[in-house]
Amino acid sequence: MITVPVDEIFASIQGEGPYVGQRHIFLRFIGCDLQCAYCDTPDGVKTPEGSLRPCRAQISPDSFDREELVNPLTGVRLTEVCERLRVAGSVKPWLSLTGGEPLLHAEFLEQWLPAMRGTYRIYLETNGIRHVDMQQLASLVDLVSMDIKLPSSTGQRERWDEHGLFLDAALGSDVFVKAVVTGDCDPEDLWRAVRLVAERRKTIPFIIQPVSGMEGPNPEMLVRLQNKALAVLDDVRVVPQVHKMLLVP
Ligand code: SF4
């Protein structure tokens, strides 16, 4: 039976991007193929004893109390936890796949998502480089939140080619792009990301997200970046991580 390592399962308020404020169930998968300087989910996969650390699963949608589940989890167990966190309503709730990098688990997701789509809208939050996995899952997700990694902010190498291929693969779904901007951000990096999006479709929403937890860009720089991006894209927003202000998970 195929299983997957999951760090957390919880229901909370979406704190990023154009869907900020909505209710989401979040599945935070373990593992990432990048090491961004500003990462707020560092990847301590193993316990001191060498086993995979447990998954922290919220018990009910009304409180943030959690229990620990043995990792890795089966799809059946994952579905049970999602169900107990689901708030019934007139529209399908959002199920947000985050991490880490969820596309590292594309094989699991390809098997698990078809049954989930009857009940949930699937929101994929990704670092935007695994284009082959994106192609494989494109018909199984409703919305793609794609990061474009700015080298001067991440401290990592350039990923422009991979991001371009990824965005091409994601265009079959609804997609928006997000770029995290630190105080060290080179405006030329952001401009390159904006052009990469505009060359494909200028109506794709583009989110400039000031970094949390370390020195961010000054307000004038943010406004200048937004002004320049608006010259070639229709929808450019500056949105900070709201859940950190609200002190929710
Ligand atoms: S892609 Fe996301 S999870 Fe991975 S290192 Fe960067 S910020 Fe952290």
Q: The domain that contains 29 carries what CATH number?
A: 3.20.20.70
20 vs 48, residue with greater confidence:
20
The 10 Å Cβ neighbour count of residue 74 is 14
Read off the tokens for 249.
């998970």
- 27-42 per-position pLDDT tens digit: 999 999 999 999 988 6
Read off the tokens for 222.
């943010």
Residue 46: pLDDT band with limits 50, 70, 90 = low
* Residue with CA closest to ligand 1 atom 6: 36
Regarding the beta carbon of 32 and ligand 1, being less than 6 Å apart is answered: yes
At CA 5, angle to CA 93 and CA 179, rounded to 5?
60
Q: Is the pLDDT score of 44 beyond 60?
A: no
C-alpha 173 – ligand 1 centre gap (Å): 22
Q: Once rounded to an integer, what is the mean pLDDT over residues 80-92? A: 94
Q: Give the range of the structural domain holding residue 231, as residue numbers without chain letter.
A: 3-246
Cα separations in angstroms, 85 against 57, 80, 91, 249: 10, 9, 15, 14
C-alpha 7 – ligand 1 centre gap (Å): 14
- 134-193 per-position pLDDT tens digit: 999 999 999 999 999 999 999 999 999 999 999 999 998 999 999 999 999 999 999 999
Q: Ligand 1 pocket: which of 32, 146, 159 to mutate (most atoms <8 Å of CB)? A: 32
Q: Is the pLDDT score of 45 beyond 60?
A: no
Give the start-end residues of each E strand in the chain: 3-4, 6-13, 23-29, 55-60, 63-69, 73-74, 94-98, 121-126, 143-147, 174-181, 206-210, 236-238
pLDDT at residue number 48: 63
C-alpha 35 – ligand 1 centre gap (Å): 6
pLDDT at residue number 38: 93
Name the pairing type of β-strands 23-29 and 63-69.
unpaired
pLDDT at residue number 1: 82
Query: Is the peptide bond preceding residue 72 cis, with omega within 30 degrees of 0?
Result: yes
Q: Is the pLDDT score of 129 beyond 90?
A: yes
pLDDT at residue number 47: 61
Q: How many folded domains does the chain comprise?
A: 1
C-alpha 237 – ligand 1 centre gap (Å): 21
